Amino acid sequence: MTLEQIFNYTKQTGYIYQGSEIYGGLSNTWDYGPLGSLLKQNLKNAFIKRFVTETPYNVLVDTSILLNKSVWEASGHLKGFSDPLTECLNCHTRHRADHLITVKNSDGWDNDKLYNYLVDNNIKCPSCGKSKWHEIRQFNLMFKTNQGVIDDVANTVYLRPETAQGIFINFKNIQRTTRRKIPFGVAQIGKSFRNEITPGNFIFRTREFEQMELEFFCKPGTEIEWFDYWYKEMVTFLLDLGLSKENIGSHEHSKEELSHYSNKTIDILYRYPWGFDELWGIASRTDFDLSAHQELSGENFEYLDPETNERYIPYVVEPSLGVERLLLAILKEGIKTETLEDGSTREVLKIIPALAPYKVAVLPLIKNKHQDKANEVYNKLAKHFSCVYDETQNIGRRYRRQDQIGTPYCVTIDHDTLIDGTVTLRERDSMEQKRLTIDKVIKFVSEKIKF
Ligand code: GAP
């Protein structure tokens, strides 16, 4: 599956459209169509089920995108959330300097070293092929805007570049109101914004994206145990969603790569069309965030252990996942072209039923004869799971259309349905068919779509 094939597939099926298309587009923005938005929602539901409602440890919050500027001062984003920017002096395109090179520097790169590397190694501009570079400077990735009617520095606010900080600043509120004891975690799903210098690879790196994050608060000294626990849960989650083992990799950060506050970080990688790249990060962040907010806000973030009477600032283990990166991996894994026994081919999206936008397609065999009954069946099934109704073209074509968008089951209403109430249930992957009553269809499908 090349990225272009995935892109064409999503466009053709209505999973994803180009953003602002009728005005020539807005670069690197994408709109999720009827199928894409349901798939996204199903991914988020799976995350909430696995990492919130099914575990005894975690709760969910939904905090603001706009936060007090001090949040970004304490977290270090105002000062340090930047990437090295350079400009091609020939064609004036701007590039992220560390993305122009593939080598790693064991001592880490600073701007001078990066610049010297570009010049000494005659690194070419990806846009024009020349090698004339502007000195490198740090470019802050946070989107700025103004709150209120006065366009003034005092009213500057930032769109959050991660959902995590909304959790940290509410640590006391959450702990007090839920009466949770350490260890416990707080999850959040929401939009984040980064003014990336070089977005790209379709929905992999964009300036507006969604994150599913978990901040897990634990006692200092237990963080590596919890890190290992959540790491295993993350890998299990990906396998359960249908990603295959051989397409999942990992990269543990070396000492030089670790952020100054982290004592362990691993990126879970997925084999995207261009190779293994970051899907999900997990970082042990020590007490950096809570301590920083305690210091700047004056709020006491110490936790009093009711059993041991110890006081400490909790340590944090943070798994952080991009919804769109997960969606891209699911599509890459699932889109297949199959050759059938009769030599014809079919395009089929093999995703697990829990993720499929529509669980069942309701199809009247002959439109004029079976339409009323099919509508009745649709209304009954739609009370239990997401369904789609299709009466156009012949039944074979309709099956193919549903295969292509990943609908795991088709229910066909025919002459016998009018007599005995049974329907044909066709399975997407095996294409096997069986006769069932509507009640049995509901029972069967409800069981199969569980996550
Ligand atoms: N709170 C920690 C944090 O935000 P991160 O590694 O910067 O860590 C976490 O981001 C995840 O968010 C990444 O692993 C990726 O899945 C997703 N992500 C980050 N930047 C992204 C972008 N520009 N476009 C799409 N997804 C992105």
Choose the weakest-confidence range: 103-107, 159-163, 341-345, 427-431.
Answer: 103-107
* Residue 135 per-residue DSSP state: P
Ramachandran sector of residue 114 (left: φ over 0; alpha: ψ -120 to 50; beta: rest): alpha
Segments forming the whole domain that contains residue 7? 3-80+145-330
158 domain-assigned = yes
- Same domain, residue pair 91 and 103: yes
Instruction: Report the SS3 class of residue 40.
Output: helix
Give residue-wise pLDDT tens across range 236-268: 999 999 999 999 999 999 998 999 999 999 999
Burial of 19 (0-12, 13-18, 19+ CB in 10 A): middle
107 pLDDT higher than 90: no
24 domain-assigned = yes
Question: Cα of 90 to ligand 1 centre, how many Å?
Answer: 32
User: Residue with the nearest Cα to atom 16 of ligand 1?
Assistant: 322
Whose CA is closest to 407, among 9, 30, 39? 39
- Same domain, residue pair 100 and 171: no
Question: Cα of 345 to ligand 1 centre, how many Å?
Answer: 37
Choose the weakest-confidence range: 42-56, 151-165, 301-315, 358-372.
Answer: 151-165
pLDDT band at 176 (very low <50, low <70, confident <90, very high): very high
Q: Please identify which residue in the block is written with the tokens 């990943």.
A: 406
Question: Cα of 325 to ligand 1 centre, how many Å?
Answer: 9
CB 408, CB 378: distance < 8 Å:
no
The residue from 140, 159, 184 where one domain ends is: 140
Query: Quick one: what percent of the chain has pLDDT higher than 90?
Result: 94
> Is 325's C-beta closer than 6 angstroms to any atom of ligand 1?
yes
Element containing residue 218 per DSSP (H, E): strand 208-218
103 pLDDT higher than 90: no
Give residue-wise pLDDT tens across range 11-45: 999 999 999 999 999 999 999 999 999 999 999 99
CB 166, CB 188: distance < 8 Å:
yes
216 domain-assigned = yes
User: Residue with the nearest Cα to atom 20 of ligand 1?
Assistant: 205
Instruction: Fill in the amino acid letter for 408.
Output: P
336 domain-assigned = no
397 domain-assigned = yes
Ligand 1 site-directed mutation target among 72, 279, 320, most atoms within 8 Å of CB: 320
- Same domain, residue pair 184 and 312: yes
- Same domain, residue pair 23 and 96: no
Angle between helices 323-334 and 34-48 (to 10 degrees): 110
What CATH number did the domain enclosing 53 receive? Answer: 3.30.930.10
- Same domain, residue pair 103 and 197: no
- Same domain, residue pair 271 and 420: no
Number of residues in the chain: 451
pLDDT band at 109 (very low <50, low <70, confident <90, very high): confident
Mean pLDDT value across the chain:
96
416 domain-assigned = yes
Give residue-wise pLDDT tens across range 381-414: 999 999 999 999 999 999 999 999 999 999 999 9
Give residue-wise pLDDT tens across range 332-355: 999 999 999 999 999 999 999 999
Instruction: Report the SS3 class of residue 397.
Output: helix
pTM over 0.85: yes
The residue from 330, 358, 382 where one domain ends is: 330
- Same domain, residue pair 92 and 184: no
What CATH number did the domain enclosing 99 receive? Answer: 3.30.40.230
- Same domain, residue pair 117 and 72: no
Pairing of strands 58-61, 184-193: parallel
Tally of structural domains, the chain: 3
- Same domain, residue pair 274 and 159: yes
130 domain-assigned = yes
Q: What is the model's pLDDT at position 106?
A: 63
**178-202 average pLDDT score:** 97
Whose CA is closest to 421, among 373, 352, 366? 373
- Same domain, residue pair 89 and 60: no
- Same domain, residue pair 320 and 433: no
- Same domain, residue pair 64 and 122: no
The residue from 97, 121, 140 where one domain ends is: 140
What CATH number did the domain enclosing 402 receive? Answer: 3.40.50.800
φ/ψ (deg, to 5) at 108: 85, 155
> Is 208's C-beta closer than 6 angstroms to any atom of ligand 1?
no
> Is 211's C-beta closer than 6 angstroms to any atom of ligand 1?
yes
Pairing of strands 409-413, 360-364: parallel
> Is 281's C-beta closer than 6 angstroms to any atom of ligand 1?
yes
User: Residue with the nearest Cα to atom 8 of ligand 1?
Assistant: 320
| Cis status, amide bond into 161, omega within 30 of 0 | no
> Is 321's C-beta closer than 6 angstroms to any atom of ligand 1?
yes
> Please, what sign has the CA dihedral across residues 133, 138, 142, 143?
negative
Give residue-wise pLDDT tens across range 74-96: 999 999 999 999 999 999 999 99
* Alpha helices by DSSP H, 121-182: 164-168, 171-178
347 domain-assigned = yes
Tokens encoding 90: 């020939």
How many Cβ atoms sit within 10 Å of the Cβ of residue 214?
Answer: 27
φ/ψ (deg, to 5) at 425: -105, 120
104 pLDDT higher than 80: no
